[in-house]
Amino acid sequence: MPEDPMKPQEGAGPIAPTEAVKPIAGPAEGDVNVSPETLPVAVKEVAAVEVVPDATTAVPVSLPVPALTPVVASTEPEPSKPVAATIRLEKKHPPAIRWMHWVNFPVLFTMIWSGLLIYWNDSDNAYQHPHAVYRVGVGSLTLVRMFPPWFWKAINAPYRVTEGLGYHFFFMWLFAINGILYVTYLLISGEWRLLVPERRSVRDAIQVTLVDLHLRKGLPPQKKYNGAQRIAYSAVILMGLGSLVTGLSIYKPTQVHWVTTLLGGYEMARWEHFWLTMGFCAFFVVHVVQVVLAGWNNFRSMVSGYEIVPATKATLEEERSAR
Amino acid sequence: MSDGREERKEQEERRKWEKERKDRDDDRDRDWERDGDRERRDSRTVELDAVVRAESGRRTRRSFLVAAAAAEGEYGFYRWIDRSPGDQLIPRPLRKMLDFNAKVARGVFDERGLAPTYPVNKSMELRTNGNYGLKMDLVPESYRLQMVGVENAKRFPQYVDDVTAWEYQYAAKKESGPVEHDTKVAPKDEAKVDPNSDAGAGEGPMMQGGPASTMVGGSGEKKEETKLSPAFEAAFAALKKAQGNKRPRGQEEAGMSDNTLDPGTPGLLLTMDDVTSLPHQELVTEFKCIEGWSQVVHWGGYRLADLIAKYPPEKKTDGSLPKYVYMETPDGDYYCGFSLQACQHPQSLLVTEMAGRPLTQWHGAPIRLHMPIKYGYKQIKRIGLIAYTDMQPDDYWTKLGYDWYAGL
């Protein structure tokens, strides 16, 4: 989903623009003599920024100007304005989120790939009952059967069922454990507050989508995620849960038959499992396109955890902690 | 006096003018100072921003190094799985995980769940899939159900010293039946055309009425005569004669079962009457194939649990029951292993009727198994042998890479 953190933010929260951040009583002229080499140290001592929650974010933000000896002494010595960096590092993604995000990528890929190897079994057009479940159609009218022969050939799926089953029933544990840890972390850390859709998210999401489609201008103000992102990322977590539940109901349809029945029966559960997977693929395509459009700064934050943001931008820490 | 006044006035004006000039100069100086200040401040800002960027770069480099190491480890993990030595045709880690999953499933569900049942009008004709052990028609009169490992077997009138000596009679298939393709393994016969060579376009030989890919020789007739040297043929004939001219067992891809009985194994030879004297049961359940299809089927027959109760397993020396049951087709081509508990499940059925009609040969007449707690590949057709054993028995599809447990 779209994300352009470098865009100026409206209503940037409780922190006012740079001027307000300066210490009210700036050191008098000539009092401070800081050479560029000692900058970071000097900044820490001055501790001009009270909003910085920890040392990692305490990258120099503001510092008093070392005034040179004036040629002509002015009658009213002006207090020199503090100098602030226009940018700062925002701790955007905690390490746990980054690890679980990237672990999920190959695991989900393996689940989809091995799922296709299994699914090929039932996709055999040469016989009488092809794609009984996986089709798009109403009643006896079938619009599409997944997938065309060239697709199966291209991914080298035929007759690799045992491999598919073996990998699917191995990586299902990694997928489930990673997902459970992820949700648990969201709940404990308070990160869920940045992710769960809010009341205004739907309207924001529509606006964001229209902007992305170049149908209108002006992104709504956002903190970590905009409305569209909140909805998409929350939905994909629910889809993961859906895959686990439908998967279990297909895996043990006799022992957990009440789950299978709730899902509409065995074949319906298979259908749901399949279309959830198609949903993941659709999510993946949109996600990658949006990440590419959002640019390097945003992508990097999912690797290093930090994003370069305008110094005036409100910190996410407040949103993380209970409001 | 006027001169003095004028002079004062003039001085006053000059002072005023000088002051104005000084103020102007001061202002100019201040402006200059302020401009310089701004310039200096701008250059400091650029420096400070650069510090932020450098910090970001440092963190990014470190993170990408960690990411590269993680990706390397991940690749190694995949490689380790993929290159592990095979355990019954799949890499050992995958096999171990299938066994672990079976343990978890047994621990959590204990195989006691009952499959949902359906009204008869929801049922349909079951697809035919897999004709292993069914290549020829079995002459019904020659059918006996071998039972091995029965407690105090000698007390039964059906006891014989050697169950393997029983001769099943076969006849060429009158009709091949609606035998369909099997996608569980790749076709091995090079000479045969893969019905899927069109990658599913529906133009393969199967659609033109040809044999299914994994069928050996189609409808039971021998397809090819391999030319052998006369000396070899003579030696082979002598060997066959020494073995009682019997067809070798385990002629399908998975080969002969490790649990195939040795000659001279004592046991029971039950007739159909012995089985049909058990209480008759009917069941409408969903049959599920590991290939991904499922059908609601109307089954009729006898509870396996009832047969086991009538012919119970022999207890071990410590008084416990053997853990497993092994089943095999009369020709030993197809075989399955089960836990004793799975066989005692109330829905495990010895099927003699399907869809309200007697079981057909291609569905495994005279007796096949239905077990809704297992995939279809465990529901063996044409059961020739039921043996109690304490070692996990061989299983046809397990040998070809599938899960032994196969529990649903």
ipTM: 0.78
Q: B110 and B22: one domain? A: no
Separation in Å, CA of B218 to nearest CA in chain A: 16
Contact B220, B172 (CB under 8 A): yes
Question: B45: which chain A residues are within 8 Å (Cβ-Cβ)?
Answer: 83-86
Same domain, B33 and B164: no
Q: A17-57 pLDDT, tens per residue?
A: 444 344 444 444 444 444 444 344 333 333 333 444 444 44
- End position of a domain, from candidates A57, A91, A125: A91
Q: Are residues B149 and B262 in the same domain?
A: yes
Residue A293 maps to a domain: yes
SS (H, E, C) chain B: CHHHHHHHHHHHHHHHHHHHHHHHHHHHHHHHHHHHHHHHHHHHHHHHHHHHHHHHHHHHHHHHHHHHHHHHHHHHHHHHHHHCCEECCEEHHHHHHHHHHHHHHHHHHCCCCCCCCCCHHHCCCCCEECCCCCCCEECHHHCCEEEECECCHHHCCCEECCHHHCCCCEECCCCCCCEECCCCCCCCCCCCCCCCCCCCCCCCHHHHCCCCCCCCCCCCCCCCCCCCCHHHHHHHHHHHHHCCCCCCCCCCCCCCCCCCCCCCCCEEEECHHHHHCCCEEEEEEEEECCCCCEEEEEEEEEEHHHHHHHCCECCCCCCCCCCEEEEECCCCCCEEEEEHHHHCCCCCEEEEEECCEECCHHHCCCCEEECCCECHHHCCCCCCEEEEECCCCCCHHHHCCCCCCCEC
Q: Which of residues 294-333 of B touch A (CB under 8 A)?
A: 294
pLDDT at A9: 43
Amino acid identity at A123: S
Tell whether the model's pLDDT for residue B212 goes beyond 50.
no
Q: Could you tell me if residue A6 is inside a domain? A: no
The count of domains in chain A is 2
- Cα separation, A250 vs A270, in Å, equals 7
A10 found inside a domain: no
Q: How far apart are CA B47 and CA A279, in angstroms?
A: 47
Domain boundary pick from A91, A120, A143: A91
Given an 8 Å threshold on Cβ–Cβ distance, is A254 in contact with B113? Answer: yes
pLDDT of residue B206: 38
The three-state secondary structure class of A275 is helix
Quote the tokens at residue B267. Answer: 């046991």
Q: Per-residue confidence at B179, pLDDT binned at 50, 70, 90?
A: low
The larger pLDDT score, comparing residue A237 to residue B255, is at A237
Q: Strands of chain A (E only): list them.
A: 62-64, 82-84, 87-91, 135-138, 141-145, 306-310
Q: CA nearest B384: which of B325, B327, B324, B314?
A: B327
- Do A78 and A102 belong to one domain? no
CA-to-CA separations, B60 to A94, A101, A300, B331, in angstroms, rounded = 14, 17, 7, 67
Residue A201 lies in a domain: yes
Q: How many domains does chain B fold into? A: 2
Last residue within a domain, chosen from B53, B83, B113 = B83
Distance (Å, whole) CA B122 – CA A310 = 65
Burial of B336 (0-12, 13-18, 19+ CB in 10 A): buried
Q: Cβ–Cβ of B186/A125 closer than 8 Å?
A: no
Window B:146-185, CB contacts with A under 8 Å: 180-181, 183-185
Quick one: A36 and A149 in the same domain? no
Same domain, A70 and A121: no
Same domain, A289 and A229: yes
**In a shared domain, residues B54 and B121:** no
Do B314 and B180 lie in one domain? The reply is: yes
Which of A51, A71, A91 terminates a domain? The answer is: A91
pLDDT per residue over B139-156, tens digit each? 999 999 999 999 999 999
Whether residue B323 is predicted with pLDDT greater than 50 in this model: the reply is yes
Q: What was the pLDDT predicted at A20?
A: 39
Check whether residue B384 and residue B295 sit in a common domain: yes
- Our CA-based measurement puts residue B120 at a distance from the nearest CA of chain A, in whole angstroms, of 17
Is A64 inside any structural domain?
yes
Q: B290 contacts in A (CB within 8 Å)? A: 121, 161, 165
A120 against B178, higher pLDDT? A120
- Short-list A279, A251, A299, CA closest to A108: A279
Structural domain of residue B14, as residue ranges?
1-83
* Domain at A134, CATH number: 1.20.950.20
Same-domain pairing of A143 and A260: yes
Is B47 in the A-facing interface, judged by CB distances under 8 Å? yes
Shared domain for A155 and A289, answered yes or no, is: yes
Highest mean pLDDT among A21-30, A310-319, B36-45, B242-251: A310-319
Q: How confident is the model at residue B251 (pLDDT cuts 50, 70, 90)?
A: confident
Residues spanned by the domain of A69:
18-91
Spell out the per-residue pLDDT of chain A, length 323, in tens: 444 444 444 444 444 444 434 444 444 444 444 444 434 433 333 333 344 444 444 444 444 444 444 444 444 445 555 677 888 888 888 999 999 999 999 999 999 999 999 988 877 655 555 556 677 777 777 777 777 778 888 998 888 889 999 999 999 999 999 999 999 999 998 888 888 888 877 777 777 777 778 777 777 676 778 778 888 899 999 999 999 999 999 999 999 999 999 999 998 999 899 999 999 999 999 999 999 988 888 898 899 988 888 888 778 777 777 55
B222 assigned to some structural domain: no
A67 with A209, same domain: the answer is no
Interface of B with A in 182-201 (CB under 8 A): 183-186, 195-196, 198-201
Same domain, A180 and A275: yes
Shared-domain flag, residues A277 and A262: yes
Cβ-Cβ contacts under 8 Å, B44 against chain A? 63, 65, 83
A219 and A242, same domain (yes or no)? yes
Residues A87 and A185 in one domain: no
Is residue B88 included in any domain, yes or no? no
Q: Are residues A219 and A151 in the same domain?
A: yes
Distance to chain A for B343, nearest Cα, Å: 15
pTM: 0.76
B394: domain CATH number is 3.90.420.10
The share of chain B scoring above pLDDT 90, in percent, equals 50
How large is the average pLDDT for residues B264-268? Answer: 92
Q: Given an 8 Å threshold on Cβ–Cβ distance, is A166 in contact with B95? A: yes
Do B277 and B178 belong to one domain?
Answer: yes
Q: What is the CA radius of gyration of chain B?
A: 42
> Is residue A5 included in any domain, yes or no?
no
Residue B359 lies in a domain: yes
Residues 259-288 of B with CB under 8 A from A: 286, 288
Q: How many CB pairs under 8 A join A and B?
A: 207
Distance in angstroms (rounded) separating the CA atoms of residues A91 and B333: 64
B127 interfaces chain A, CB cutoff of 8 Å? yes
Considering the domain architecture, whether residues B4 and B150 belong to the same structural domain is answered as: no
How far does B84 lie from chain A, in Å, by closest CA? Answer: 13
Confidence of residue B389 (pLDDT cuts 50, 70, 90): very high
Within-domain flag for B212: no
Give me the mean pLDDT over the B109-129 stretch.
Answer: 89
* Residue A4 lies inside a defined structural domain of this protein: no
* Claim to verify: residue B109 and residue B75 sit in the same structural domain: no
Mean pLDDT of B178-182: 61
- Indicate whether B11 and B58 sit together in one domain: yes
Clarify whether residues B35 and B153 are in a common domain: no
Does any domain span residue A3? Answer: no
Residues of chain A contacting B47 with CB distance shorter than 8 Å: 36, 39
Contact A65 B59 (CB under 8 A): no
pLDDT of residue B174: 73
B171 and B39 both lie in a single domain: no
Provide the mean pLDDT of chain B. Answer: 83
Alpha-carbon gap: A76 to the closest alpha carbon of chain B (Å): 11
User: Can you give the pLDDT at residue B141?
Assistant: 92
Contact check, Cβ <8 Å, B97/A60 = no
Distance from CA of A210 to the nearest CA of B (A): 32
| Type of residue at A160 | R
Chain A positions in Cβ-Cβ contact with residue B215 (cut-off 8 Å): none
Looking at the DSSP bridge assignments, the partners of residue B386 are B147, B327
Residue B193 lies in a domain: no
